[in-house]
Amino acid sequence: MSARDEILGRIRTALGPDRAAPAEVRRDYRLTDDRSPDELLDVLTDRLEDYRATVVRCAPSEVAATVGSALRTALGEHSPADVVVAPGVPADRRPDGAVEDDGRPAVALAGYAATVTGVAVAIAETGTLVLDGSPLSGRRALSLLPDCLVCVVEAAQVVGSVPEGLARLDPLAPLTMISGPSATSDIELQRVEGVHGPRTLVVVLVA
């Protein structure tokens, strides 16, 4: 007998011949967040800053300049070619001279100092950005290897709760939920930001 049949047979034996129908799951927890869009932006900002991310707000016309300025703050003086952008980021939102991810071997991305991407959705209550592997979010390695990650978030992409956020996502896409810079609490439960993932996270809120 294959291990598959063996295990499935054991489960059937364990549950017995007259197994009860599973009880219905009551979803009477909060599914939506009633706060206004402005409030949600404030909550998102508060949560992200709590994780030691940097949050800057700007008008739609100022995105490229704001990203450029955030990169200068994070990296100091740097070559424009040290910055790589997800292919779906519109040209007018890219910092000058940034390189578009051209699908080179993933490990080669480690050579860049910073990445600029968009997001699929942002969840205010938990301070979470979700990247979905689309051209706007970029492939997963892009938001992982460079030490500084700049994410551009549109106000319309911000939802209040986790259920609202997951409802907007495609379960078949390669998803990365990001809540602040990488961190560890493995030494005496003291939180240290920045281990293997980007040590700096900048969120540009377009509102």
Partner 1 sequence: MTAVFLGIPTAPRGVGHLRGDLSFPDAARDSLRDGQLRANLGHATATIRGKRAAVVGEVPDWAELREAGRAIKAATMARLDEHLIALEEQVTARGGTVHWASDATEANEIVTRLVQATGTDEVVKVKSMATQEIGLNEALEAAGIAAHETDLAELIVQLGEDTPSHILVPAIHKNRAEIREIFLRTMPGVDPGLTDDPRKLAMAARAHLRERFLRARVAISGANFAVAETGTLAVVESEGNGRMCLTLPQTLITVMGIEKVVPTWRDLEVFLQLLPRSSTGERMNPYTSLWAGVTPGDGPQEFHLVLVDNGRTAVLADEVGREALHCIRCSACLNVCPVYERAGGHAYGSVYPGPIGAVLSPQLTGIEDNASLPYASSLCGACYDVCPVAIDIPSILVHLRAEHVEAQQHAGPEALAFRALSKAMSNPRLWRLAQKAAGLGRFLAWGRPTLPAALPPPASRWTRTRDLPTPPKETFTQAWAREHGG
Give yes or no for residue 146 binding partner 1 (CB under 8 A). Answer: no
- Candidate residues 75, 136, 173, 207; the one interacting with partner 1 per rule CB under 8 A: 173
Give yes or no for residue 160 binding partner 1 (CB under 8 A). Answer: no
Give yes or no for residue 2 binding partner 1 (CB under 8 A). Answer: yes
How many C-beta atoms surround the C-beta of residue 17 within 10 A?
Answer: 6
Q: Shortest distance, CB of residue 62 to partner 1, whole angstroms?
A: 28
Interacting residues with partner 1 between 115 and 134 (CB under 8 A): 123, 125-128, 133
Nearest to partner 1 of 71, 145 (CB atom): 145
Give yes or no for residue 21 binding partner 1 (CB under 8 A). Answer: yes
Give yes or no for residue 136 binding partner 1 (CB under 8 A). Answer: no
Name the residue among 142, 158, 138, 137 with its Cα closest to residue 206.
158
CB contact at 8 A, 181 and 201: yes
Nearest to partner 1 of 66, 112 (CB atom): 112
Class of residue 63 by CB neighbours under 10 A (exposed 0-12, middle 13-18, buried 19+): buried
Give yes or no for residue 168 binding partner 1 (CB under 8 A). Answer: no
26: DSSP letter: P
Number of residues counted as binding partner 1 (CB under 8 A): 72
Give yes or no for residue 157 binding partner 1 (CB under 8 A). Answer: no
Give yes or no for residue 54 binding partner 1 (CB under 8 A). Answer: no
Nearest to partner 1 of 26, 59 (CB atom): 26
Name the residue among 38, 59, 186, 61 with its Cα closest to residue 124.
38
How many C-beta atoms surround the C-beta of residue 64 within 10 A?
Answer: 21
Name the residue among 72, 75, 76 with its Cα closest to residue 64.
72
Nearest to partner 1 of 34, 92 (CB atom): 34
Amino acid identity, position 123: I
- Candidate residues 75, 136, 155, 175; the one interacting with partner 1 per rule CB under 8 A: 175
Query: Measured between alpha carbons, how far is 16 from 64 in angstroms, rounded to an integer?
Result: 63
Q: Shortest distance, CB of residue 148 to partner 1, whole angstroms?
A: 13
Helix (H, G, I), strand (E, B) or coil at 186: coil
